Each structure stands twice: as structure tokens, then as C-alpha cells.
Amino acid sequence: MAYHAPMIPSLARALRLLGEHGDAGPFLARARDEGSLMAAALAHAAMGDEERGAYDVPRAFEIFIRAGGNRALYGEVSAALARLYEQLGVRCLLDIGVGDGMALLPALGQTRRAPVTVDVVEPSGGLLDALRPRLPAGKAWQLTLQAFLTQLGPERRWDLVQSTFALQSIPPGDRLNALKRLRRHVTRLAIVEFDVPVFANAEQRFASLAERYERAAHEYGDDAPLVAGGFLAPMLLGQLRATTPSNWEQPITAWQEELVRAGYRVASTTHVHDYSWAPAWLIVAKA
């Protein structure tokens, strides 16, 4: 359902100016005065001297994924992964971009055939520190996927490698190369990503971003300023940057095509949940 609020046109105009010119002070101020949580967060972020990443404030991300519409989303994602472990008889699992285990841990708890070893890769030290005490047998690497792959010996293999909403944070060229290298080490790959819309023009894109981010921020009540400022604003700025974006979403059909280009054979594509941001889908591919 669309989020209807009076600040959306002003916020959309501000986002377009930020994306195209890097400055949108008057429109951000107008949207903020009209009640926009995202405009206030973006205006505050613009005052800082240092560029901040979306995962630099772990507490903001932890609250984001454990409240609002994410409860239902991650419940469905974990259930789908648990079923997959049973169907495939997974004994050795690797989770890429695991975060603090929001999807992984419930899936392990729900499945009737839990993997014997569970390895994880996560670049955020704060998120990984929160996960380590709860991990079953396995190893945790605080690395990006690209750095992780450079240190893997040819003998390392996993029955299943999974990634939930993490591959979109890797630049497309690097991601394709990483997926190609990863294929040597995996029997099957499972990714969960959003089926983001394709926009006819820039006006539609910025209006959609304004609506979706503002709607997300308003789901968090008293924690909204922390979530908007600590996670959503850096994520949004990363999508707007023309030279150094930090997020590369795409439609599910594009994810399928990318896996094929990397040498995988797509085995199944399954709808998981109609999240407010965009529908979430599970793609399972064979190496």
C-alpha cells in the first residue's frame, strides 16, 4: 500500500536535487517542516564532515530489522531457508553478509535437518560481534565477500551458500566477478533479494524512493530518528550518489540473468513475502 503524506512531493524534489547536484537545502527544509523524518535525517547527515556508511551505526540497523514490517519479512525468509535446508540435506552452510543473524539463526532453529557446520562472512565488526556467541559450529570471517574469496583455498566447498539482502551492496562488476569465483566452492547458491520496480523516468524513481523511505521511517515510533539517521539516510544517500553509490538494487529478472552470466543454472525462483519496500524472492541456483 502506498504511503500518502504531504511531504512526499517536496522530499522527492529534494532527492532529485541531491542525486543530480549534491545539494537540496531549501527542499529538504520544506519537507522537514512538513513532517518528513527522512528530510530531517538527510539534513543532519549533510551537516557532517565525514561520509557515513549504512552499517556504521549497528544499533540503528539492529532496530531497523527487528521492528516494523521486517518482523513478518524475516519470519518468512527464515521459514523459506529452513525448508531449503531440509529439501537439500545441507550439511555445510556458508552465509554471506549474515549481519547479526536475523535470517540465519531462526532458520537453523526451525529446520529439522540443521547443517553440521555453519560458516559466516560479514564485514561489519559490530554486527559480527553480536552474532558470534550464538553461532553453532563453524567459522566467522569479518571480511567483504571480495576479500574473503581471495584467501580461499581450492579445497573449500559448501553444500549451500546463502545471502539475504546483502549482494545488492556490492558494485555490479565486483559482484559478477565474485559470483564467478564463488561458483568453484559451492554446490548450490540461494539468494533473497527484492524485486524492485523499473521506472519509466527519473521523476518516478525519486517519487518512489521518497515514498518508500518515508514510509519505512514512520514504522519505528520513538526509534524513528535513530533508524532514519543511523541507517536509512546513509542507505538512501548511497543510492543517490552518482559516483560512489552504496546500493545496487535490481529486479528479480536481472538477478536471474546475472547468475546465469556468472555460470550458474537457476533451479527455482520463489516469492517469499510482499514487503512494503518491494516483494522479496528466493532464487536457488546450481553451480
Instruction: Write out the H or E segment, with its range, that includes residue 21.
Output: helix 8-21
Domain extent listing, the chain: 8-50+201-239, 70-196+249-286
Angle at 67 between CA 273 and CA 119, to 5 degrees: 70
pLDDT digits (tens, 9 = 90+) for 125-179: 988 998 999 998 889 999 999 999 999 999 999 999 999 999 999 999 999 999 9
pLDDT in tens, 44-58: 876 654 556 656 677
Residue 272 has a pLDDT of 98
Enter the pTM of the model: 0.80
At 222, which amino acid appears?
A: D
Cell numbers at 82, concatenated: 529452513
In the prediction, which pLDDT does 188 show? 98
213 beta partners: none
| Residue 88 clears pLDDT 80, i.e. is over it | yes
Dist CA 142 CA 165 (whole Å) = 17
The partner residues of 279 in beta bridges, in order of sequence, read: 274
* Amino acid at site 177: N
Q: What is the pLDDT of residues 221-263, one digit of tens each?
A: 999 999 999 999 988 887 786 556 667 889 999 999 999 999 9
**For 141-160, b where at least 16 C-beta lie within 10 A, e where not — what string?**
bbebbeebbeeeeeeeebbb
* Predicted pLDDT of residue 1: 38
d(CA 249, CA 74): 18
For residue 21, the model assigns a pLDDT of 80
Could you say which DSSP state residue 196 is in?
A: P
E strand spans, the chain: 92-96, 117-121, 140-141, 158-164, 186-194, 265-274, 279-286
Reported CATH class of domain 70-196+249-286 = alpha beta
